[in-house]
A and B are shown apart, each in its own frame.
Chain A
């Protein structure tokens, strides 16, 4: 059974600081996704990582994937209040098939304060 674990589960950051959220998974996969969820809202796709060494960046967020270590990171640079949200990583169980099923991590609740 695939398990996906994120840490930390809660992250309180000061504006302007840097931090990293980690996502570990238990079985082989080369597809990993990061999503953002604002309170009471649905999930918004942030990044799709499809191969070992993949790195994607959007604004102050950068995601990377190490399939050998079964680890993905979401790095936050110079945090701002607008980044406050819950961040989920999700791993595709099906690998190469077209209807893969995602297993989600528990989510990391990020709060950025002045």
Chain B
């Protein structure tokens, strides 16, 4: 059973920078896993931010960026805003798709 692991929680100050990571139990995450990142706020459906490792949608704020870092997929928020406080999920493609457990980001 494939497991995708994220940090359970992170805290960042407004204006700061934070990196969330996404690891696979099968080994290093590569571009072939087409990592996706989603943001979810309470009571709302998830919203896609990043697809295929580093590609942004038209609605994705410029302060969000995706990359591969040390064998993991990574989501970096630069210049964090209070409204970025949310749960963030990564998704990796295997045969099928597997979500990570989510990272609760607190802006404090």
User: Are A and B subunits of one complex?
Assistant: no
